């Protein structure tokens, strides 16, 4: 470094930066000049610390860079980070001052190619919205008291367990009908669309007819939920004659199916709550209505009694009893009618609750399993009887064919004195022209073979 010279020609040493100052200037320069950027590469050397911070490297064919993700579990897309996976990260370049190491601070993560999926999502959304498939006017209301609810989801996932649990707790009298499908992977969207179509034509396909339909699955990444963003599923929902509730993923997840369906539920459990009424709340409401009716009747009767008492004490006190005799009888009749009506209404509600309780007891799994086992035992006995009869029939036919074979076969011909003459090569002698002088021939009779030589 050349020495600095002051105005009077004296040499002066240039002021040197400390390492901290240099590194800090580099850090400020990177953060100000570059700012936050999208960076794409392959994840390697992923380390998850107990503090909740994750550290990894992002690399391509020619270079790599260190990455830090603070509070990773709260960051969008963190579940996509795995060694060897290609991702896109939104990050800010920086310098780790303690080591003077270049790094990027990651804010969120997407699997590589997710931007393409998002573009496809937006394109299909604009197309279907232009066709009117998202219009509020075509949305159908859900039935208040459905008897049967169809469910299109995986038969083994957490979603079906959540739905059945909520339905069993809120409305055990409602019958769930599951159409199990794959909800993830290539071709799953066609299974989902076909299931929706069949549930909409239940009687034609031997399925119990439903009052509404729930479709969906549990949470996952954009790729995991993508089958519910396919056009074939959207078209099937739009064409379904049943009201449809879409329950795909978690509350923050939105799919094309959510926009086309009549109702969108944030989770499968919420879909079940939308689909069926709360039985306990209904019971409480009936009790409240009953108490309200009784209170109004009592108040009415009290007012009428007061009016009657006042009339008796007033101008009608003298001979008024005669005038009020008929109204009093009518009042008694009305009182009896009201009491009977309240009692009948209460008995009706009690009978309905008892009927629901009986239906619930009949729907117990152990009772249904016992019925199925009894039916299976009956079918097994029928199969055994049918198999035994078929074997006996085949045995009789085999005996008959054996008798015919014995009667018409070559062995019976030998018994009647016939024989068969063959040459040395096994060919049958049918004419004297088939043999030559001196040739050895064999003649098979009933009890053996006779060899002879031809002499012509």
* Over residues 101-128, mean pLDDT: 83
Query: Tens digit of pLDDT for each residue in 31-63?
Result: 777 778 889 888 888 999 988 899 999 988 888
pLDDT value at residue 265: 93
Angle at 92 between CA 86 and CA 97, to 5 degrees: 110
Angle between the 188-200 and 231-239 helix axes, to the nearest 10 degrees?
10
Find out whether 222 and 118 touch, Cβ atoms under 8 Å: yes
Distance CA 197, CA 176 (A): 17
Q: Are residues 120 and 107 in the same domain?
A: no
CATH of the domain at 50: 2.40.50.140
pLDDT value at residue 352: 85
pLDDT band at 318; cut points 50, 70, 90: low
Residue 131 has pLDDT above 70, yes or no: yes
Q: Are residues 163 and 86 in the same domain?
A: no
Q: Which is more confident, 8 or 134?
A: 134
Q: Is residue 330 part of a domain?
A: no
Q: Is residue 384 part of a domain?
A: no
Q: Are residues 265 and 128 in the same domain?
A: yes
pLDDT value at residue 53: 92
First to last CA, the chain: 134
Q: Is residue 372 part of a domain?
A: no
- Report the percent of the chain where pLDDT is more than 70: 89
Q: Which is more confident, 224 or 162?
A: 162
Task: State the average pLDDT for the chain.
Answer: 84
Query: Tens digit of pLDDT for each residue in 429-455?
Result: 888 888 888 888 888 887 888 888 888
Distance CA 89, CA 39 (A): 5
Length of the chain: 456
pLDDT value at residue 110: 84
Report phi then psi at 195, rounded to 5: -65, -40
Q: Is residue 10 part of a domain?
A: no
Place of tokens 């700012």: 35
Q: Are residues 265 and 131 in the same domain?
A: yes
Q: Which is more confident, 134 or 317?
A: 134
Q: Are strands 11-12 and 4-5 parallel, antiparallel or unpaired?
A: antiparallel
Range of the domain at 438: 415-453
Q: Is residue 249 part of a domain?
A: yes
pLDDT band at 154; cut points 50, 70, 90: very high
- Report the percent of the chain where pLDDT is more than 90: 31
Q: Is residue 323 part of a domain?
A: no
Residue 11 has pLDDT above 80, yes or no: no
pLDDT value at residue 412: 67
Residue 140 has pLDDT above 90, yes or no: yes
Q: Are residues 298 and 441 in the same domain?
A: no
Q: Is residue 285 part of a domain?
A: yes
* Over residues 79-100, mean pLDDT: 85
Residue 232 has pLDDT above 50, yes or no: yes
Distance CA 193, CA 43 (A): 36
Q: Are residues 106 and 126 in the same domain?
A: no
Q: Are residues 53 and 172 in the same domain?
A: no
Query: Tens digit of pLDDT for each residue in 365-377?
Result: 677 777 788 888 8
Q: Which is more confident, 10 or 431?
A: 431
**CA distance readout (Å), 419 to 158, 168, 443, 444:** 81, 85, 7, 6
Burial of 103 (C-beta count, 10 Å sphere; 0-12/13-18/19+):
buried
**CA distance readout (Å), 71 to 54, 58, 74, 91, 290:** 8, 18, 6, 14, 56
Q: Are residues 294 and 347 in the same domain?
A: yes
Q: Are residues 169 and 272 in the same domain?
A: yes
The count of structural domains within the chain is: 4
Q: Is residue 379 part of a domain?
A: no
Distance CA 57, CA 47 (A): 10
**CA distance readout (Å), 68 to 91, 98, 223:** 9, 14, 25
Q: Largest Cα–Cα distance in the chain?
A: 159
Angle between the 268-275 and 158-170 helix axes, to the nearest 10 degrees?
30
Q: Which is more confident, 324 or 394?
A: 394
Q: Which residues contact 85 (CB under 8 A, 6 or more apart)?
A: 42, 43, 111
């Amino acid at each position: 470094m050349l020495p600095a010279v002051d105005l009077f020609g004296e040499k002066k040493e240039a002021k040197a930066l400390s390492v901290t100052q240099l590194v800090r200037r580099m850090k400020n320069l990177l953060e100000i000049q570059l700012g936050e950027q999208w960076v794409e590469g392959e994840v390697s050397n992923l380390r998850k610390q107990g503090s909740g911070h994750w550290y990894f490297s992002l690399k391509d064919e020619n270079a790599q860079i260190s990455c830090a993700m603070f509070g990773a579990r709260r960051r969008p897309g963190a579940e996509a980070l795995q060694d060897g996976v290609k991702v896109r990260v939104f990050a800010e370049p920086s310098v780790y001052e303690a080591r003077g190491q270049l790094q990027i601070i990651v804010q969120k993560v997407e699997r590589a190619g997710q931007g393409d999926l998002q573009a496809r999502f937006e394109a299909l959304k604009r197309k279907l919205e232009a066709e009117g498939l998202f219009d509020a006017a075509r949305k159908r209301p859900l039935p208040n008291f459905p008897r049967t609810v169809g469910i299109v989801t995986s038969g083994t996932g957490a979603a079906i367990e959540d739905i059945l649990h909520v339905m069993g707790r809120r409305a055990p009298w409602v019958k769930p009908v599951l159409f199990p499908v794959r909800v993830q992977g290539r071709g799953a969207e066609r299974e989902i669309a076909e299931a929706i179509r069949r549930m909409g034509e239940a009687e034609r396909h031997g399925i119990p007819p439903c009052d509404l339909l729930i479709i969906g699955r549990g949470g996952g990444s954009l790729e995991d939920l993508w089958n519910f963003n396919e056009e074939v599923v959207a078209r099937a929902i739009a064409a379904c004659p049943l009201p449809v509730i879409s329950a795909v993923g978690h509350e923050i997840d939105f799919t094309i199916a959510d926009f086309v369906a009549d109702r969108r539920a944030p989770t499968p459990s919420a879909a079940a709550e939308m689909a069926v009424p709360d039985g306990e709340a209904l019971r409480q409401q009936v009790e409240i209505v009953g108490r309200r009716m009784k209170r109004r009747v009592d108040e009415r009767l009290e007012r009428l009694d007061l009016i009657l008492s006042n009339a008796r004490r007033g101008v009608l006190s003298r001979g008024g009893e005669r005038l009020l005799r008929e109204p009093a009888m009518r009042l008694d009749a009305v009182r009896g009618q009201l009491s009977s009506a309240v009692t009948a209404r209460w008995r009706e509600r009690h009978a309905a609750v008892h009927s629901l309780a009986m239906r619930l007891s009949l729907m117990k799994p152990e009772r249904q399993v016992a019925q199925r086992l009894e039916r299976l035992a009956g079918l097994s006995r029928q199969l055994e009887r049918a198999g035994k009869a078929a074997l006996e029939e085949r045995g009789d036919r085999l005996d008959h064919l054996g008798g015919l074979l014995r009667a018409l076969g070559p062995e019976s011909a030998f018994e009647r004195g016939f024989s068969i003459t063959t040459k040395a090569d096994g060919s049958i002698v049918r004419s004297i022209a088939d043999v030559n002088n001196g040739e050895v021939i064999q003649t098979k009779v009933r009890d053996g073979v006779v060899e002879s030589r031809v002499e012509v």
